[in-house]
Amino acid sequence: MPNDTASNDSPVLVWFRKDLRLDDNHALCAAVTTGRPVIPVYIREPEEAGTGVLGAAQSWWLHHSLKALAASLHGIGSDLILVTGSAEATLSRMAKETGAGTVFWNRRYDPNGIALDSALKDRLPGSGLQVNSFSGQLLHEPSRIKTGTGGPYRVYTPFWRALENAGEPDTPLDAPETLIAPDQCPKSERLEDWTLLPVKPDWAQTFSEIWTPGEAAALERLSDFVEERLDGYKHNRDRPAVDGTSRLSPHLALGEITPARIWHATRGLRSIPAEDVTTFRKEVVWRDFSYHLLFHNPTLPTENLNRTYDAFPWVSDPSAFDRWTKGMTGYPIVDAGMRQLWRHGYMHNRVRMIAASFLIKDLLIDWRRGAAWFADTLVDADPASNAASWQWVAGSGADASPFYRIFNPILQGEKFDPEGDYVRNFVPELERMPQKFIHRPFDAPAAVLKAAGVELGGSYPEPIVNHAMARDRALAAYQQIKDAA
Ligand SMILES: Cc1cc2nc3c(=O)[nH]c(=O)nc-3n(C[C@H](O)[C@H](O)[C@H](O)COP(=O)(O)OP(=O)(O)OC[C@H]3O[C@@H](n4cnc5c(N)ncnc54)[C@H](O)[C@@H]3O)c2cc1C
């Protein structure tokens, strides 16, 4: 039924995507403002739709997040409808079945999502469904922030300044208190039948040691962070053994919380040093910057931004890649990071940089292979932040770390995990290693290894490469592409 002939009690549709929340949800609030019954829907689109397949860790998160969202929606009056199928066919069919004349959604900013949504905006009115779309996933929409000449940014600091000059992000909207349920609800599939939880249950079981998916947990985590950990963030954020960051990334990745809500929660905090607040906000803005890069460079996840890197002599070494994924490289900080990833679907940012650098520069394995592993195993996998960060480490990205700045896994470990607590937590076979050798067990005298119960090449691996030699090899490879350019 076309919009203009819809009766006042005909419902509207709200299509949830990576915005699994009621709070600060512009599309949902606008739907409520119509005064009509609201039908919330989540569509599991087929792979061919091109919206990208979620990795295994994020699928685990999605299962729990949808469950939480369904409960919240039910609590305020309307049930979440789950449907598998193409968005166009599903929305058109639902419009026909329910008499809905409008669908509301929050915009997405990845290239495939943008293309699909543009096509839907063109085609859905043909099925009698008007589209109303809203911002809300970023602090500012990527097209809004422009350089002085009207182009996109490639360097972070001027982007941050432009964002500061753009003014405060919109004030977040409160969650609606009630929804009017439709007289007749379309049929929903059962979440349990979607098999989003991993087939190997023992793998993701440990995720719940630290995570509670869902909007309520996201808001609670934000207030805990602001009260307890924002003070000191600038220093602590680089200490993987310290619980010093917000751990909001998986909640942001599926839109359980908005960056605007986070931004506004860090306003006017007189008791917290300004440098901590600014440092934290700058990190949140890295997420916007990554989306800005992806928006203006749609091939960011698959192609080097700096095309000189297209000639890089990557090595294919399945066995080395396998050891990296399993945390068996013989470099304790790298191994601890990769095992944290497996155990919790998360890795501390400092260690992500070290582990990524190790794969790219010590093992000479293409950054895209590492990015794909992260996308499958991170609960916070994000198409923009993951691609931009991997290209940053590789040196092929925008405003990237120069290739010749090669992280030394021993020195990085000693600097950022000085007591070795992070390593001991995730690499228990090194638990009894003295602090002096915790990041370099291969330099420990035999008696020290024996006393710590460590057998190199037995209970813990010998280093997969000699870092000094690997560094020289990486620099030679880099010289090769520079010479060819
Ligand atoms: C190789 C590599 C891959 C990465 N892949 C992802 C990814 O897939 N998804 C993801 O969300 N982050 C990714 N990051 C960025 C960063 O590691 C995580 O955002 C951060 O560790 C999340 O922890 P937190 O929420 O406690 O961060 P906090 O320190 O509390 O920061 C607050 C928020 O700021 C944003 N943020 C912080 N650092 C960055 C950054 N460097 N780039 C973009 N946004 C940032 C995140 O949304 C984060 O939740 C990657 C970094 C590297 C080096």
Going from N- to C-terminal start, the domains of the chain cover 12-136, 138-172+214-296, 307-484
Residue 160 appears among annotated catalytic residues: no
- pLDDT at 58 exceeding the cut of 50: yes
Annotated catalytic residue within 61, 160, 367, 373 = 367
Please tell me the distance from the alpha carbon of residue 55 to that of residue 250, in angstroms, as a whole number.
13
Q: Mutate which of 210, 389, 399, 416 to test ligand 1's pocket (most atoms within 8 Å of Cβ)?
A: 389
Q: Using one digit for the tens of pLDDT, what is the confidence trace for 214-234?
A: 999 999 999 999 999 999 999
Model pLDDT, residue 405 = 86
Q: What is the C-alpha separation between 39 and 101, in angstroms, rounded?
A: 12
Pick the CATH number of 138-172+214-296 from 1.25.40.80, 3.10.310.40, 1.20.59.10, 2.60.120.10: 1.25.40.80
Distance of CA 342 to the CA centre of its chain: 16
* pLDDT value for 120: 97
pLDDT of residue 398: 80
- Tell me the CA distances in angstroms from 200 to 171, 197, 395, one per residue in order: 42, 9, 36
Q: Which two tokens stand for residue 468?
A: 């000094």
Structural class in CATH, domain 12-136: alpha beta
CA of 166 to the centre of ligand 1 (A): 23
Burial of residue 85 (number of CB atoms within 10 Å: 0-12, 13-18, 19+): middle
Active site residue 390: yes
Per the CB < 8 A criterion, the answer to whether 186 and 97 are in contact is yes
Q: In Å, how far from its chain's centre is CA 424? A: 26
CATH 1.10.579.10 assigned to domain 307-484? The reply is yes
Active site residue 342: no
Q: Distance between CA atoms of 244 and 261, rounded to whole angstroms?
A: 20
Does 7 have pLDDT greater than 80?
A: no
For residue 215, count other CB atoms closer than 10 A to its CB: 23
Instruction: Dump pLDDT digits (tens) for 330-360.
Output: 999 999 999 999 999 999 999 999 999 999 9
* Mean pLDDT, rounded, for 253-273: 96
Evaluate: CB of 382 within 6 angstroms of ligand 1. yes
Ligand 1 centroid to residue 460 C-alpha, Å = 30
Backbone φ and ψ for 130, nearest 5 degrees, come out as: -85, 150
List the residue whose alpha carbon is closest to atom 2 of ligand 1.
389
For ligand 1, atom 23, the nearest C-alpha belongs to: 247
Instruction: Check residue 55 and give its pLDDT.
Output: 94
What pLDDT was estimated at residue 275? 97
Which residue owns the Cα nearest ligand 1 atom 6?
Answer: 386
**3: pLDDT confidence band, cut at 50, 70 and 90?**
very low
Residue 159: strand, helix, or coil: helix
Rounded average pLDDT over 68-88: 97
**pTM attached to this predicted model:** 0.97
The mean predicted confidence, pLDDT, of the chain is 95
Enter the tokens of residue 262.
């986070």
Q: Is 221 in the pocket of ligand 1 (CB under 6 A)?
A: no
Give the pLDDT score at 1.
39
Q: How confident is the model at residue 48 (pLDDT cuts 50, 70, 90)?
A: confident
